[in-house]
């Protein structure tokens, strides 16, 4: 069954210098349990698309069905309940900066009406899932970007969602941290049977974990299908262009990795790699 | 006049001034905080935009803020009399002070709440938070440092106004400065009251900054 169905969705932003038709008759569906990617160049309408799914952005026309239920006609109250089903994680993490990590994860539980004590107990379980139980009492500023995104994922999980929407969730992170976060998302997808929509402009994110992908171009779905299919046999120019970008991305990664080894620099998220480097150094010394 | 003679007077004046300032500011927040919240959420970028409501509130606040405090004191004397029973003295001065404080506070609350990151508010919306939850659990707590700086500024401004109220017999230190310093040419008394006012202002500022810094978790 499809968990998300968009049918002929149109969204226009009207601003000072003319209207922007950000989504043009977009139709697509996301199946239960799948990880669905949406890729496109900057300004293609990816964020608009994902924000329409939980109605943070209101389209002018078209249908949006979540588990078969049309949500555009819901009342404010019903929509709020529906949103508890659809969690979202963001590029900038968007944690409450004045709350501890644990209390951030408690937030959706408070919204659901749980008592503080019970909320804390449950929140701790989700923090364990993302491997951050030792940071429960820390504040977001004290965490790295990757750790903050883990907290955001724990917060998303705490609302017991059926769907998680990710808007460029890894774009502010380095390649290694990106990998870790994607692995965590896959684990979440499998263990909790949560369907995931991932918006990105990075090809590697798609190839790493997505089952199917839609290529968005100038507000239209240019291509849609299983990841291998779309990218071994791209039918449109934009898909081919994204493939090219991917190759240069891979090259870039190689270069940065080499540079890192040369400088024997290391960061927390790179522990295993830097260990290798240190070992190498020890050999050289012997 | 000997210093020992005026000591009790100054002491009483200081207590009166503090009482006026604290009560008026507290009452000012009772009115100004909800107004500031309303301004924030009904504005174009707010969580529940309402252009008409915003315009009306905006206008009322601008009008009350543009009336100079001295004029306001005199203008609302009838209202003061109605509420307190008389138009002079410490208790009576609380009325105009509150009227002056409320719009100022509303504006400061508005500007503090507008500093809260749009993304954090959206995250709360995406979790299904109601407007009340967003106001009480996101906007106000996230803006608390800035809000407390606002409290400090409000207290300081009201302290200044309270001294001005001395001109029409408003009680407190300002009253003493005018009665003794201005009408009786007791310059010494006037200087002492001014020094006390300066000290009060310093302490307020220092305390305010200390507390607002202490509650800020955005600094490591
Ligand atoms: N609030 C807004 N007001 C006016 N125009 C907007 C608004 N949000 C987006 N747009 C416009 O809509 C189009 C699609 O924007 P959108 O943010 O969905 O693109 P995107 O694919 O997410 O891009 P990026 O990869 O840069 O995040 C762009 O032309 C953008 O300028
Ligand atoms: Mg975007």
**A86: which chain B residues are within 8 Å (Cβ-Cβ)?**
126
pLDDT confidence of residue A271: 42
Q: Token digits for B161?
A: 């106004």
Q: Which CATH number covers residue B42? A: 1.10.3720.10
Could you tell me which residues are beta bridge partners of residue A64? A6
Of B217 and A276, the structure prediction assigns the larger pLDDT to B217
Region B85-111: mean pLDDT is 94
**A82: which chain B residues are within 8 Å (Cβ-Cβ)?**
128
**B220: which chain A residues are within 8 Å (Cβ-Cβ)?**
141-142
Phi and psi at A109, nearest 5°, equal: -70, -35
Alpha carbons A197 and A26: distance in angstroms, whole number = 15
The total of structural domains in chain B comes to 1
- How far A139 CA lies from chain B's nearest CA (Å)? 7
- How far A209 CA lies from chain B's nearest CA (Å)? 24
Q: Comparing C-alpha atoms, which of A74, A55, A75 is closest to residue A9?
A: A55
Q: Comparing C-alpha atoms, which of A140, A163, A42 is closest to residue A93?
A: A140
Q: Comparing C-alpha atoms, which of B73, B214, B212 is closest to residue B154?
A: B212
A88 touches chain B (CB under 8 A): yes
Residue B169 lies in a domain: yes
Distances (CA, A) of A24 to A21, A41, A216, B10: 7, 16, 10, 74
> Is the CB–ligand 1 distance for residue A13 below 6 Å?
yes
Long-range contacts: B55-64, Cβ < 8 Å, 24+?
A: B57/B106, B60/B103, B61/B35, B61/B103, B61/B106, B61/B107, B62/B103, B64/B99, B64/B100, B64/B102, B64/B103
Query: What does the mean pLDDT of chain B come to?
Result: 93
Region B6-17: mean pLDDT is 92
Q: What is the pLDDT of residues B28-42, one digit of tens each?
A: 999 999 999 999 999
Q: What is the dihedral of CA A141, A147, A148, A154, to 10 degrees?
A: -140
pLDDT confidence of residue A250: 67
User: Atom 29 (ligand 1): residue with closest C-alpha?
Assistant: A43
Q: Report the SS3 class of residue A237.
A: helix
The CB-side HSE value for A272 (13 A sphere, CA atoms) comes to 3
A94 touches chain B (CB under 8 A): yes
Q: Comparing C-alpha atoms, which of B160, B155, B164, B146 is closest to residue B213?
A: B146
To probe the interface with B, which of A96, A101, A106 has the most B CB atoms within 10 Å? Answer: A96
pLDDT confidence of residue B143: 97
**A56: which chain B residues are within 8 Å (Cβ-Cβ)?**
122, 125-126
The total of structural domains in chain A comes to 1
Alpha carbons A277 and A262: distance in angstroms, whole number = 9
Region B58-82: mean pLDDT is 93
User: Do B123 and A82 count as a contact with CB atoms less than 8 A apart?
Assistant: no
pLDDT confidence of residue A275: 40
Alpha carbons B74 and B182: distance in angstroms, whole number = 20
Residue B137 lies in a domain: yes
The CB-side HSE value for B126 (13 A sphere, CA atoms) comes to 32
Alpha carbons B147 and A255: distance in angstroms, whole number = 48
* Cβ neighbours for A234, distance < 8 A, ≥ 6 positions apart: A223, A240, A243
At what angle are helices B77-84 and B90-114 packed, to 10 degrees?
110
pLDDT confidence of residue A285: 40
Alpha carbons B188 and B196: distance in angstroms, whole number = 12
Instruction: Report residue A34 CA to chain centroid gap.
Output: 14
- How far A49 CA lies from chain B's nearest CA (Å)? 14
- Ligand 1 atom nearest the C-alpha of A57 is 1
Q: What 8-state DSSP symbol labels residue B134?
A: I
User: Do A141 and B141 count as a contact with CB atoms less than 8 A apart?
Assistant: no
pLDDT confidence of residue A272: 43
Mutate to test the pocket of ligand 1, among A41, A42, A45, A215 (most ligand atoms within 8 A of CB): A45
pLDDT 10s digit of each residue in chain A, 286 long?
Answer: 799 999 999 999 988 788 999 999 999 999 999 999 999 999 999 999 999 999 999 999 999 999 999 999 999 999 999 999 999 999 999 999 999 999 999 999 999 999 999 999 999 999 999 999 999 999 999 999 999 999 999 999 999 999 999 999 999 999 999 999 999 999 999 999 999 999 998 888 999 999 999 999 999 999 999 999 998 888 888 888 888 776 676 666 667 666 666 654 444 444 444 444 444 444 444 3
**A107: which chain B residues are within 8 Å (Cβ-Cβ)?**
124, 127, 137
The chain B residue lying nearest A99, using CA atoms, is B217
pTM of the complete model = 0.88
Q: Which CATH number covers residue A80? A: 3.40.50.300
Instruction: Determine the structural domain holding residue A12 and report its residue range.
Output: 2-285
B115 touches chain A (CB under 8 A): no
Q: What 8-state DSSP symbol labels residue A42?
A: T
Alpha carbons B75 and B113: distance in angstroms, whole number = 32
* Cβ neighbours for A79, distance < 8 A, ≥ 6 positions apart: A55, A71, B128
Q: Report the SS3 class of residue B218.
A: coil
pLDDT confidence of residue A267: 46
Q: Report the SS3 class of residue A163.
A: strand
User: Atom 2 (ligand 1): residue with closest C-alpha?
Assistant: A13
Residue B18 lies in a domain: yes
pLDDT confidence of residue B136: 98
pLDDT confidence of residue A278: 40
Alpha carbons B9 and B31: distance in angstroms, whole number = 33
DSSP A194-213: -EEEEEES-HHHHHHH-SEE
The CB-side HSE value for A17 (13 A sphere, CA atoms) comes to 0
Instruction: Determine the structural domain holding residue B133 and report its residue range.
Output: 3-214
- How far A101 CA lies from chain B's nearest CA (Å)? 12
Distances (CA, A) of B158 to B18, B19, B58: 10, 11, 21
């Amino acid at each position: 069954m499809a968990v998300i169905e968009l049918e002929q969705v149109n969204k226009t932003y009207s601003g000072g210098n003319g209207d922007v038709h950000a989504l043009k008759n977009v139709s697509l569906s996301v199946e239960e349990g799948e990880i669905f990617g949406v890729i496109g160049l900057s300004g293609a309408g990816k964020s608009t698309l994902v924000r329409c799914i939980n109605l943070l952005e209101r389209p002018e026309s078209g249908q949006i069905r979540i588990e078969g239920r049309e949500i555009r006609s819901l009342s404010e109250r019903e929509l709020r309940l529906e949103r508890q089903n659809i969690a979202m994680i963001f590029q900038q993490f968007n944690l409450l900066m004045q709350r501890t990590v644990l209390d951030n994860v408690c937030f959706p539980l408070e919204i659901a009406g749980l008592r503080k004590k019970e909320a804390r107990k449950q929140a701790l379980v989700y923090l364990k899932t993302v491997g951050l139980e030792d940071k429960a009492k820390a504040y977001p500023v004290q965490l790295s970007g990757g750790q903050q995104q883990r907290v955001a994922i724990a917060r998303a999980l705490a609302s017991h969602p059926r769907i998680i929407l990710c808007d460029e969730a890894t774009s502010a992170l380095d390649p290694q941290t990106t990998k870790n976060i994607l692995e965590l998302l896959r684990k979440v997808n499998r263990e909790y049977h949560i369907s995931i929509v991932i918006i990105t402009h990075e090809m590697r994110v798609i190839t790493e974990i997505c089952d199917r992908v839609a290529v968005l171009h100038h507000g239209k779905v240019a291509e849609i299908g299983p990841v291998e299919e779309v990218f071994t046999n791209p039918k449109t120019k934009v898909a081919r262009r994204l493939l090219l970008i991917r190759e240069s991305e891979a090259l870039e990664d190689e270069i940065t990795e080499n540079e890192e080894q040369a400088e024997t620099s290391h960061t927390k998220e790179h522990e295993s790699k830097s260990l290798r480097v240190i070992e190498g150094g020890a050999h050289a010394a012997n | 006049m000997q210093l020992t003679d005026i000591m009790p007077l100054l002491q009483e004046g200081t207590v009166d001034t503090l009482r006026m300032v604290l009560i008026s500011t507290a009452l000012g927040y009772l009115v100004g905080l909800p107004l500031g919240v309303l301004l924030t959420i009904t504005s174009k970028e707010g969580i529940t935009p309402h252009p008409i409501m915003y315009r009306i509130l905006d206008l009322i606040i601008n009008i009350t803020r543009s009336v100079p405090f001295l004029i306001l004191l005199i203008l609302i004397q009838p209202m003061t009399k109605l509420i307190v029973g008389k138009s002079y003295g410490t208790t009576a001065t609380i009325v105009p002070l509150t009227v002056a404080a409320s719009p100022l506070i509303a504006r400061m609350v508005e500007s503090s709440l507008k500093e809260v990151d749009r993304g954090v508010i959206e995250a709360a919306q995406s979790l299904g938070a109601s407007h009340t939850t967003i106001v009480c659990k996101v906007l106000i707590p996230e803006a608390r440092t800035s809000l407390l700086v606002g409290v400090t500024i409000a207290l300081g401004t009201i302290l200044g106004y309270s001294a001005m109220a001395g001109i029409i017999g408003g009680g407190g230190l300002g009253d003493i400065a005018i009665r003794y310093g201005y009408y009786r040419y007791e310059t010494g008394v006037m200087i002492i009251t001014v020094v006390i006012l300066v000290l009060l202002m310093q302490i307020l500022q220092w305390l305010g900054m200390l507390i607002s810094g202490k509650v800020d978790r955005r600094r490591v």
